[in-house]
Amino acid sequence: MVRLLALVSWMATAAPQLPGQQTSGLATRLDQATYAALRPILEAAGRDSIPLRPLEAKALEGTAKRRPAAQIVAAVQRLAQELQQARLLLRQAAPTAPDAEGDIVAAAEAMRRGVPAEEVAALRRRVPPATSLEIPLAVLGELVQRGVPAAEARAVIEHMVNSGVPQARMVEIPSHVDVALRVGAPPITALGSALQSLGIPVPPPGPGGLGPRRPPGDRG
Amino acid sequence: MNQEHPLVRDYLDGELAYDALPEEHRPEADQFRRIADAMASDRVALPPGVRAAIMRRVRAAPEPAARRVWSWVMTPREIRVSPAMGVLALAAAVGALLLTRPRAGTVPDAGPSHAALTATNTRFVFLAPTASSVAVTGDFASWDPKGIPLRDATGTGVWVVELTLPAGLHHYVFVVDGHQWLPDPNASQVDDGFGQKNSVLMVPARVES
């Protein structure tokens, strides 16, 4: 009985699992050399509270795709740096917002797809801190990748988040933009058309809006 | 339901005499009149003892299983458990709590401030008329190289599977014939960091208030 109670007590105070020894079975799916090379990266990420799940996923992806160990390690290292930069950017933009793994991953991917860091930061600053940005940032990345100017795309996303547009509607925008692009519409016009076809209110024209920008000093 | 002819209705309402009814409508009128007369007749008197016999049958009918289970569950009864079983149950509960606690180095998602994120059914469709097998793999499948198989139910080369995925951003590819890794031609693509492309799937959060 005493031994059983001791076992229970030990379980309650057991040290946290080391990075890599997760239920995802990283150690079992990677060869020893690759796992050994990745372990310092994962441990460092763990110490810095960088999300580990996407790093492990990238390692598993590389193994599944039979990439060389060096390529897997490089990809995971690069992703760790991107996640660190994304987290720093989001924290600086909204210090009171929680560090959400989804937001950090989406911010890193948005920047990888061409969204300038200042637009990611602007979006974080201008929506309530507790709002999840994972889907809004993903949609922003989709729009910028399709050629929509980043500032306009960000303004639209920001408007939708603050207006309470459901994410289920937001994720439909890129495919509607594609329809307009296929018939030759410029990206910004395609975005406006997509919003109208989805019944999403278009932000008012002006700086950051969808309308034409007036040059500085133009009062006409 | 067939409606009676307006003239027949007038007859039944007493607004038109039977003799004034055209001959072709009289059979219909007769039929409705018979029905109306039957409904207006006096109630049938039951022989003595029939009502009592019916109630005896109802009371003897077996209680529905659900009601029996509910009665058993709600009836207080004495349960005896040895201390060892109690400790084992406690250990199991502690073990379950430890397995579900956040790992070091990860942070929980904040999520929309007012919503419960729910999983969503997502349908994957891939056109491969000459393939013998198609699977989908990605972060939601831990990048298992075997993937989750799609089915070509109609034999037309349209491979389909429907999965329940958590809300958020996902990367995936299709695996054709076990060795060909292809992004989804109908989805956005991003560099995978290995010189190839992944497809992007955005699963929206559904607000449950």
For B123-160, write each residue's pLDDT tens digit: 999 999 999 999 999 999 999 999 999 999 999 999 99
Average pLDDT over residues B19-37: 84
| B159: nearest Cα among B188, B197, B132 | B132
Q: Is the pLDDT of residue A108 over 90?
A: yes
Tell me the one-letter amino acid at A115.
Answer: V
Given this model, what pLDDT does residue B146 score? 95
Interface test with A, best of B88, B137, B169, B171 (most A CBs within 10 A): B169
Distance of CA A85 to the CA centre of its chain: 12
Identify whether B49 is part of a domain.
Answer: no
Average pLDDT over residues B31-45: 67
Question: Which range marks the domain in which residue A202 is found?
Answer: 100-212
Is the Cβ pair B167, A167 closer than 8 Å?
Answer: yes
Is the Cβ pair A8, B91 closer than 8 Å?
Answer: yes
Nearest to A106 among B88, B94, B169 (CB): B169
Q: What is the pTM of this model?
A: 0.66
Which of the residue ranges A5-9, A25-29, B47-51 has the most confident prediction, judged by mean pLDDT?
Answer: A25-29
On whether both A89 and A108 belong to a single domain, the answer is no
- CA–CA dist B62, B60 (Å, integer): 6
In this structure, which long-range contacts are made by residues B146-150, counting pairs with CB atoms below 8 Å and at least 24 apart in sequence?
B146/B175, B146/B178, B147/B174, B147/B175, B150/B124, B150/B126, B150/B174
Confidence of residue A25 (pLDDT cuts 50, 70, 90): confident
Identify whether B58 is part of a domain.
Answer: no
Given this model, what pLDDT does residue B89 score? 80
- CA–CA dist A150, A148 (Å, integer): 6
For B90, name the nearest residue in chain A, comparing CA atoms only. A8
Six-digit token pair at B162? 């429907």
Given this model, what pLDDT does residue A95 score? 95
On whether both A125 and A65 belong to a single domain, the answer is no
Please say which residue of A44, A76, A93 terminates a domain. Answer: A93
Please say which residue of A69, A93, A117 terminates a domain. Answer: A93
Least confident of A91-100, A106-115, B83-92: B83-92
Contact list in A for residue B87 (CB cut-off 8 A) is 1, 4-5, 8
Residue B139 at interface with chain A, using a CB cutoff of 8 Å: yes
Nearest to B194 among A67, A103, A171 (CB): A67
Least confident of A9-23, A171-185, B37-51, B63-77: A9-23
Question: Which range marks the domain in which residue B24 is found?
Answer: 6-40
Residue B95 at interface with chain A, using a CB cutoff of 8 Å: yes
Contact list in A for residue B171 (CB cut-off 8 A) is 61
The answer to whether ipTM exceeds 0.90 is no
Identify whether B159 is part of a domain.
Answer: yes
Contact call for residues B148 and B135 (beta carbons, < 8 A): yes
Task: Count CA atoms closer than 13 A to B138's CA, side-chain side.
Answer: 21
Average pLDDT over residues B56-77: 75
Give me the DSSP letters along B169-205.
EEEEEEEETTTEEE--TTS-EEE-SSSSEEEEEEE--
Nearest to A168 among B94, B107, B206 (CB): B206
Q: Which neighbouring-strand residues pair with B158?
A: B127
Given this model, what pLDDT does residue B67 score? 78
